[in-house]
Amino acid sequence: MEKVFPAKPGQSIFRPRWIVDLCFFLGQYLFWGGLVLWLLSDFGHWFRGLVPEQVTSFFGNMPLWLQMIWVVVLSDFLIYWGHRLQHNVEFLWRFHKVHHSAEHLDWLAAHREHPLDSLYTVGLINIPAFALGFPLESLAGFIAFRGIWAIYIHSNVRLPLGPIRKIIGAPELHHWHHDKDRRAGNYANISPLMDILFGTYTCPDHEPEEFGIEEDTPKSYAGQLIEPILPGFISRRIWK
């Protein structure tokens, strides 16, 4: 799709900093992703007692397809507000800015994410499902779908969907979320309905001029992992 419907036609496969994103890709699938899923599977049961049994039984007896719809709606609501906080609370932004430091978007850049930021995001997405007692097979399919969806919306693709884009997300929406203005909007994930509802939806008919962040940040994989967890004055001295 990046070759047939490119958002930025001149962008090379081996564009600047692709090695850094490859490191994030390998780290996520070989180590960090497994660690996050292990934490969820081991501690997810803590959330199961938060909701009355009558409610969990109600959702648990639904057909699987209806369960998935509820998981999407509830998690989209949580991730919208959680994502918006990541852009407005400085402590959360320290970790989330790693993801936004990518100056070129494609399928590989989707994997540039600090492990602690991943834990925060994946936790928010799945807390409603754990708390409402959804079976693990519902979660497994949902996690797999979200992973593929994240790759799609970050890809170097522009395939305008017309009015449908107000119901289901697309790269053209998420690219504007990666504009250098960290409060550009489009915080929702699968459906932009939350952005429309809360006034943060934006989709001009062209691509942003630049992606990335305004702050100085390390360019290396190790630097981007370590810098967010260090006090500001130390990180500035090390990574300047």
Indicate the domain borders of the chain. Answer: 56-239
What pLDDT sits at residue 161?
Answer: 78
186 within 8 A of 145, measured Cβ to Cβ: no
Give mean pLDDT, residues 41-64.
Answer: 72
Q: How far apart are CA 116 and CA 113, in angstroms?
A: 8
- Min mean pLDDT across 65-69, 112-116, 194-198 is at 65-69
pLDDT of residue 94: 93
Residue 20, pLDDT > 80, answer yes
Q: Residue 40 corresponds to which tokens in the numbers above?
A: 């969820």
Residue 18, pLDDT score: 93
Burial (CB count within 10 angstroms: exposed 0-12, middle 13-18, buried 19+), residue 73: middle
pLDDT of residue 126: 77
Which of 39-43, 49-53, 124-128, 198-202 has the highest mean predicted lDDT (pLDDT)?
Answer: 198-202
CB contact at 8 A, 85 and 124:
no
Cα–Cα–Cα angle for 186, 228, 176, rounded to 5 degrees: 15
Q: Where are the alpha helices (DSSP H) in the chain?
A: 18-27, 33-43, 53-60, 64-88, 90-100, 115-131, 136-154, 171-177, 193-198, 221-226, 232-239
Please give the structure tokens belonging to residue 171: 């790269």
Longest CA–CA separation in the chain, Å: 56
Q: How confident is the model at residue 43 (pLDDT cuts 50, 70, 90)?
A: low
Tokens standing for residue 149: 């969806």
pLDDT category at 65 given cuts 50, 70, 90 is: confident
Mean pLDDT score of the chain: 85
